[in-house]
């Protein structure tokens, strides 16, 4: 956090024209970090926490909404605590704010010495239209009238959902290519495969709220390798039923071979540790099963959700 605060404090934009609000999680060191970083700075800085936070700091949507409710400015600029803002970040955004209600900043991913799979995944952040909250601008009155981030999206798809709500209300979100924020390449964490798969439960909620945009933006639930794994699991089940447990080795061999091909495709030309390779090998065959189960759960849980209706006029 110290680094992002430093880059925000060093903006070329006049320090009298913006304030910094940090919403801390219970028990973290944010208050101390902010106090140390803000010492001697001319920027108005506040570090706050949600009183009796029922999510214990684990709902990013709630924290951002709380910060927005305290803000005094006309515009809200969102950035994540692990990012770095370009010195002209706010100044470049300000050039495009006048005629808009929202603005998407430019995300840059630093190139690592040796390409990793995580880096490949993050490269998609650089494409316009992702609306990641690590670099987004919203007019405060519009943000509040739309209800802020939906708390049902605690830390995944909340930024996409809100941006689509803005679009559903007839507004455009232009891309500010010179308002740059740099997002770091996080260390590999293959166990996140399970967490990411579990979050598929939220896709039906996003689909029901924004059916038209969802059809345009979300191509498919399962990739080709996911479908291949499902076929292999089905084949394994058939072999076990047909040959009892004698069919298990043959089915396991097919599944292991597919996993090997998938891992080669995934990590070809990448730097990868033995631990990352082993954990991914263990988990990746189960990803499509978890995604399907979670998606089905989401379809049932959010079956009564209706499309977002136009609710504001400017």
pLDDT averaged over consecutive 10-residue blocks of the chain (314 residues)? 94 96 89 90 92 86 96 97 96 95 96 88 91 97 96 94 96 97 90 93 97 89 90 88 81 88 92 93 94 97 90 71
**Do 146 and 170 fall within a single domain?**
yes
**Do 175 and 252 fall within a single domain?**
no
Asked if residue 162 lies in contact with residue 171, where contact means CB atoms within 8 angstroms, the answer is no
**Do 118 and 201 fall within a single domain?**
no
What is the β-pairing status of strands 84-85 and 75-78?
unpaired
Query: How far from the centroid of its chain's Cα atoms is residue 91's Cα?
Result: 25
In the listed set 136, 152, 187, which residue is the last one of a domain according to the structure?
A: 187
Query: How far from the centroid of its chain's Cα atoms is residue 246's Cα?
Result: 44
In the listed set 187, 207, 229, which residue is the last one of a domain according to the structure?
A: 187
**Do 192 and 170 fall within a single domain?**
no
Instruction: Return the residue matching tokens 């030309």.
Output: 269
Question: How many structural domains does the chain have?
Answer: 2
Residues in CB range of 198: below 8 A, 6 or more apart: 290, 294
- In this prediction, residue 314 carries a pLDDT of 66
**Do 104 and 222 fall within a single domain?**
no
**Do 49 and 76 fall within a single domain?**
yes
Dihedral angle sign, alpha carbons of residues 86, 178, 125, 131: positive
Residue 179 in 3-state DSSP?
strand
Residue 13's domain spans which residues? 2-187
**Do 224 and 140 fall within a single domain?**
no
Q: Which string of b and e fits 97-111 if b means at least 16 CB within 10 Å?
A: beebbbbbbbbbbee
- In this prediction, residue 85 carries a pLDDT of 98
In the listed set 132, 163, 187, which residue is the last one of a domain according to the structure?
A: 187
**Do 208 and 230 fall within a single domain?**
yes
């Amino acid at each position: 956090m110290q680094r992002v605060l430093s880059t925000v404090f060093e903006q070329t934009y006049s320090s009298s024209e913006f304030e910094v609000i940090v919403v801390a999680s219970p028990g973290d060191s944010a208050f101390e970090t902010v106090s140390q970083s803000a010492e001697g700075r001319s920027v108005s800085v506040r570090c706050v926490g949600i009183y009796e936070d029922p999510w214990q700091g684990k709902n990013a949507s709630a924290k951002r909404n709380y910060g927005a409710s305290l803000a005094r400015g006309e515009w809200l600029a969102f950035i994540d605590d692990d990012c770095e803002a370009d010195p002209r970040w706010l100044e470049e955004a300000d050039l495009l704010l006048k005629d808009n209600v929202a603005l998407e900043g430019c995300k840059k991913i630093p190139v690592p010495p040796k390409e990793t799979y995580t880096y490949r995944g993050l490269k998609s952040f650089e494409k316009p239209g992702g609306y990641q909250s690590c670099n987004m601008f919203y007019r405060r009155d519009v943000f509040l009238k739309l209800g802020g981030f939906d708390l049902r999206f605690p830390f995944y798809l909340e930024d996409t959902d809100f941006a689509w709500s803005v679009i559903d209300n007839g507004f455009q979100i232009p891309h500010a290519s010179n308002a740059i924020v740099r997002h770091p390449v996080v260390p590999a964490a293959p166990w996140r495969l399970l967490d990411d798969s579990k979050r598929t439960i939220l896709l039906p909620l996003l689909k029901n709220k924004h059916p038209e945009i969802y059809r345009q933006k979300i191509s498919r639930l399962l990739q080709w390798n996911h479908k291949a794994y499902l076929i292999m699991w089905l084949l394994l089940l058939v072999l076990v039923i047909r040959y009892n447990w004698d069919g298990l080795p043959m089915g396991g061999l097919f599944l292991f071979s597919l996993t090997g091909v998938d891992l080669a495709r995934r990590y070809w030309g990448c730097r990868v540790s033995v631990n990352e390779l082993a954990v991914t090998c263990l988990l990746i065959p189960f990803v499509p099963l978890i995604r399907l189960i979670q998606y089905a759960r989401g379809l049932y849980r959010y079956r009564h959700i209706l499309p977002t209706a136009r609710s504001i006029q400017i």
